[in-house]
Amino acid sequence: MTTLGDSCQFFNGKAHEKDIDAEGQFVVVNSKFISTDGEVKKFTAKQMFPLIEDDIVMVMSDVPNGKALAKCYVIEENDKYSLNQRICAIRTTEFNIRFLYYQLNRHPYLLAFNNGENQTNLRKGDILNCPLWKPSIDVQEQIVKILDEGLDQIEQAKFNIEQNINNTKELFQSKLYDIFSQKADGWEERILGEIGEVQTGTTPSTKDKTNFGDYIPFAKPPHFQENGQIDTKDSMLSRSGLEKGRLFKANSILMVCIGATIGKTGFSEKPISSNQQINALTPTNDYVPKLLYYALISPFVQNQVMSVGKSAQATLPIINKSKWLKLKINLPKDKSIQTQIIETLENLKEFCIETELNYQKKLENLEDLKKSILQRAFSGGLVKQQQPITI
């Protein structure tokens, strides 16, 4: 056993915030760069701290329970990178670099400094005292070979599972498109303004919003959940504030109509109010309300929303009330058919959710396996057993 300070050199980065330059030729190695494995980059023309091939860079600061603290990245070439502040560089001739990377990346000793309540700032002394296992170079290379093969298998398995998750989501979207893009007998093309009341929300003053007493739900874009439900537990409107707000009837469909989450849609079984970023449709008795929710989240309608929203001469995508009520929608006239469609979609959605949860569990199992393999590697388990890893 050794420590990082006894076997490696340590370097601190320098602040680049005032020298970020999109046209610069050097990549700024910051927390975002490392946490995304080099996918997200900022550039500079000033190489304040040059990094060299086989430097290991590590994040020294992160929010409580963050995923970037002590995360590492291996520099793969010279004269391309510059080290930012709160990121350190580790250099050594006593380790195989891949072996040191596997051992140091998110090291439990360093993660223990995170109390889950305050931002963690690893000090130089903390990092220098990090314990490391240092077998011979031959043994290090043997372990790296085993880890490369085993972890590559895990990453491929994760990739396959993530593809399956995407396919599951696309299955539901594909079904929505097939249903609501058709113009079969007994179906009609209408616009939103013809099938119900269309309204835009208003935002009352802060004093009219409360979590206590007699209230109604008040919807904001962040509270639109993936399952279509609207989370209003932290956002209520007092009934006294209704004179300054706008109440939508029960079984209304709400859609975000401005900003990055444009098109996000929710369904409220209760009377509800909303802020001005949201339009609401309250259908007439000719339509089963939940059908309209599924129609509005279908690609057939969502594509119209995105097209109109992006064509607006505005900084953010936006679709105003007059354009929203003109969105086209295909619906069956027969309410019994409407009910059948809802039942079909509800069953398919339940299947997709259950399937996705199973896949997510498999991803978690693979992460546990990865941690187990790394733990064995740095306790001598892989060398002693000399067994191949199969996934």
List the CATH number of the domain containing 206.
Answer: 3.90.220.20
Structurally, the chain folds into a number of domains equal to: 2
CA distance 265 to 296: 7
Residue 125, in any domain of the structure: yes
State the CB neighbour count (10 A cutoff) for residue 133.
15
**pLDDT tens figures, 258-316:** 888 889 898 888 888 777 888 899 999 999 999 999 999 999 999 999 998 887 666 78
Residue 49, in any domain of the structure: yes
Residue 277, in any domain of the structure: yes
- Residue whose pair of structure tokens reads 């670099």 in the numeric block: 97
Q: Is residue 110 domain-shared with residue 229, that is, in the same domain?
A: no
Q: Is residue 118 domain-shared with residue 201, that is, in the same domain?
A: no
Q: Domain of 84?
A: 2-134
- Name the pTM for this structure: 0.69
**Is the distance from CB of 280 to CB of 273 less than 8 angstroms?**
no
Residue 369, in any domain of the structure: no
State the CB neighbour count (10 A cutoff) for residue 111.
14
**Is the distance from CB of 237 to CB of 248 less than 8 angstroms?**
no
Which of 134, 164, 180 corresponds to the end of one domain?
134
Q: Is residue 126 domain-shared with residue 202, that is, in the same domain?
A: no
Q: Is residue 30 domain-shared with residue 126, that is, in the same domain?
A: yes
List phi, psi (to 5°) of 195: -115, 5
Residue 35, in any domain of the structure: yes
Residue 304, in any domain of the structure: no
CA distance 295 to 168: 19
Residue 163, in any domain of the structure: no
pLDDT at 213 exceeding the cut of 70: no
Residues 6+ apart with CB under 8 A from 178: none
Q: Is residue 204 domain-shared with residue 130, that is, in the same domain?
A: no
Which of 266, 298, 330 corresponds to the end of one domain?
298
CA distance 186 to 296: 20
User: Which tokens is 239 given?
Assistant: 């009934």
User: Which tokens is 106 given?
Assistant: 């998110």
Angle between helices 335-377 and 289-297 (to 10 degrees): 50
Report the helix count and the strand count for the chain, using DSSP H and E.
Answer: 11, 20
pLDDT at 235 exceeding the cut of 60: no
**pLDDT tens figures, 49-76:** 999 999 999 999 999 988 999 999 999 9
Which of 298, 313, 329 corresponds to the end of one domain?
298
State the CB neighbour count (10 A cutoff) for residue 44.
22
Residue 374, in any domain of the structure: no
